[in-house]
Structure 1
Amino acid sequence: MLPSEPDLAAKGSYGSEMLYSPADVATIVRFGLDHGVRVLPEIDSPAHTGSWAVAYPDIVTCANMFWWPAESEWADRLASEPGTGQLNPLNPNTYQVLKNVIGDAVALFPEPFYHAGGDEIIPGCWKADPAIQSFLSENGTLSQLLEKFVNSTFPYIVSLNRTVVYWEDILLDANVKVDPAIVSSSEFYYLDCGHGGFVGNDSQYDPPPTSGGGGNGGSWCGPFKTWQTIYNYDIAYGLTPAETKLVLGGEVALWSEQADPTVLDVRIWPRASAMAETLWSGNRDESGKKRYAEAMDRLHEWRHRMVNKGIKAEPLQPLWCIKNPGMCNTVHPST
């Protein structure tokens, strides 16, 4: 619950038992630092702000509307998944509320970064608002709306001595210039992929497949990202040396639509460890070959260490393999 905007949580949360007080946040941040973990929240905006409409209905467009209107094309959707609502860039009240949120978040989290979101900004949601319709009818553009939003918030965040983090939706807009990047590819680094979609009556399952294999199982980013897929990814592949210098690092992502504490450990570990080794130490040996075999041995042993610490990490191999190093490879260790 943010001190400057308590109604956002009090009115927009799922329930009073699901609120974080400033004291709760301080405890989490301190616990993380004590264990080598830096806590950085993402305050997503302008999209994914439907809950804000409960406290401030005037600053949110298309709130609580059905996300994919009947008989409409995908391009005309109001959101990329259920749960609509985007902050209105034309309403001055938007920026007063948002600046209060930013100020409180900066005070609560000591990190030098501020994750401002910018994810999945859907044109249809903005087009549903009468004021924005009028703006567009007078030769205004959606890109100008986004530019106005960024230009009204980015300088304020920077003035608080924070480096701003955005999703690629901001980076790819021609009128918004942001250079350094952190890589989080849905093709390699999304840990919730391959578990099926969470929307109901999904036509991807009808008619039934002719066999049990293949396809994405209704998951937009399927198939499942194995540790090998993650380990194989070179985040600077195809970039020039100058472009590579702009890549600050990478991150795996696990979204909460189909993940909660009951499955958290097994979804994250040890796959996140594969990414960590790749980014910290590289995934190739001195000759340039990928180190799958030795990485498997390390990750397998590392997984058992985590289990011994009470972390429910997913198994990678049968126990026999750790008792017989190298014997579970496709190439015999003596060759």
Structure 2
Amino acid sequence: MFPEPFFHGGADEVTPGCWKADPSIQSFLSQQNGTLSQILETFINKTLPIITSHNKTAVYWEDVILAPDTWNNGPNNTKLLTAAGYRVIVSSWEFYYLDCGHGDFLGNDSQYDRPPTSSDVDSNGGSWCGPYKTWQKVYNYDITHGLSEVEKGRVLGAEVALWSEQADGAVLDARVWPRAAAMAEAMWSGNRDEKGVKRYAEATDRLNEWRYRMVGRGIMAEPIQPLWCLRNPGMCNTVKPFVAQ
């Protein structure tokens, strides 16, 4: 059923509070005189042999190694993992989580009960991983930033993620496309030209045309420019490249 060589074993976002509140877990720990870390270790020790027995390479979230795929702390955790000799699939929430920037799904979230001048909510819109990840931010991410050549060789690739707390079939196409295509181009072709300059203008034209191709095929991808820009290539670019101050 799954011909690819990898199988994901999970183990992400272990929440100690849940284990501490679970009577069966506490009973097990008291009998074994164990720790919460040993519970996670037990899970890995049981799932890893099952995965490898089917000639698959096991994939786990970074929590297994870094204990609090690489999804957190951007290039810093990628560096920690590759420096330790692990192969990595990058899925950093700061760049690749497509569900971010839509608030939160909790109905009694007190963080919204703030004065209108409060920056706590304004900074991320109440979304734990806000703000919204634009296609430019997705495209901009260099997943091997700060790595040595040896460490770069341990980065297998990357993936965008769309978690479904606030996404369903009605919004799926627009949440995924064309942002996922921006990541795909950066992975396949790189996001810089032969001079090392980011190819935003070229990428914009390609993604814009690709977006309309998808719409023509019934995929309701989100627009990235007005239709006028597609009909007048280059006319929506800035006259002078933006230079950060």
Q: TM-score, normalised by structure 1?
A: 0.63
Q: Which residue of 1 aligns with 2:49?
A: 155
Q: Secondary structure at the match of 1:257?
A: helix
Structure 1 CA distance for aligned equivalents of residues 227 and 240 of structure 2: 18
Deviation, structure 1 residue 232: 0.5
Structure 2 CA distance for aligned equivalents of residues 171 and 302 of structure 1: 39
Which one of the candidate residues 257, 260, 263 is aligned to 2:168? 260
Alpha-carbon contact 1:226-1:271 (below 8 Å) kept: yes
Residue 113 in structure 1 maps to residue 32 in structure 2 = no
- Could you say which structure has the greater relative contact order, defined with CA pairs below 8 angstroms and 6 or more residues apart? 2
Q: Which residue of 2 aligns with 1:130?
A: 23
Deviation, structure 1 residue 247: 0.9
Q: Which residue of 2 aligns with 1:189?
A: 96
Which one of the candidate residues 201, 213, 218 is aligned to 2:108? 201
Root-mean-square deviation (CA, aligned residues, Å) is: 2.2
Structure 1 CA distance for aligned equivalents of residues 18 and 85 of structure 2: 24
Deviation, structure 1 residue 173: 3.5
In structure 1, runs of 5+ residues without a counterpart are 1-107
Structure 1 CA distance for aligned equivalents of residues 225 and 59 of structure 2: 37
Give the AA of the match of 2:93: S
Deviation, structure 1 residue 318: 0.7
Q: Which residue of 2 aligns with 1:52?
A: none
Alpha-carbon contact 1:326-1:332 (below 8 Å) kept: no
Structure 2 CA distance for aligned equivalents of residues 216 and 277 of structure 1: 27
Distance 1:198 1:148, change over 3 A: same
Q: TM-score, normalised by structure 2?
A: 0.85
Deviation, structure 1 residue 234: 0.5
Q: Which residue of 1 aligns with 2:152?
A: 244
Distance 1:259 1:114, change over 3 A: same
Give the AA of the match of 1:266: A
Structure 2 CA distance for aligned equivalents of residues 200 and 208 of structure 1: 19
Structure 2 CA distance for aligned equivalents of residues 276 and 308 of structure 1: 20
Q: Secondary structure at the match of 2:166?
A: coil
Q: Secondary structure at the match of 1:164?
A: strand
Bigger Rg, which one: 1
* Identical-pair percentage: 71
In structure 2, runs of 5+ residues without a counterpart are 69-83
- 1:164-206 CA-to-partner distances (Å, cap 9, x unmatched) read 12112123239xx982110001100000100110011111101
Deviation, structure 1 residue 125: 1.5
Structure 2 CA distance for aligned equivalents of residues 280 and 240 of structure 1: 20
Alpha-carbon contact 1:266-1:312 (below 8 Å) kept: yes
Query: Superposition pairs for residues 208-287 of structure 1, below 5 Å?
Result: 208-210=115-117, 214-287=122-195
Query: Superposition pairs for residues 20-99 of structure 1, below 5 Å?
Result: none
Residue 145 in structure 1 maps to residue 39 in structure 2 = yes
- 1:198-217 CA-to-partner distances (Å, cap 9, x unmatched) read 01111110114338994111
Q: Secondary structure at the match of 1:301?
A: helix
- 1:123-161 CA-to-partner distances (Å, cap 9, x unmatched) read 111222335335545652211221121011101210111
Q: Which residue of 1 aligns with 2:226?
A: 318
Count of residues in Structure 1 that have an aligned counterpart in Structure 2: 224
Q: Secondary structure at the match of 2:165?
A: coil
Give the AA of the match of 2:51: I
Structure 2 CA distance for aligned equivalents of residues 299 and 307 of structure 1: 12
Deviation, structure 1 residue 110: 2.8
Distance 1:227 1:322, change over 3 A: same
Alpha-carbon contact 2:8-2:59 (below 8 Å) kept: yes
Give the AA of the match of 2:117: T
Q: Which residue of 1 aligns with 2:78?
A: none
Alpha-carbon contact 1:171-1:178 (below 8 Å) kept: no
Q: Which residue of 1 aligns with 2:239?
A: 331
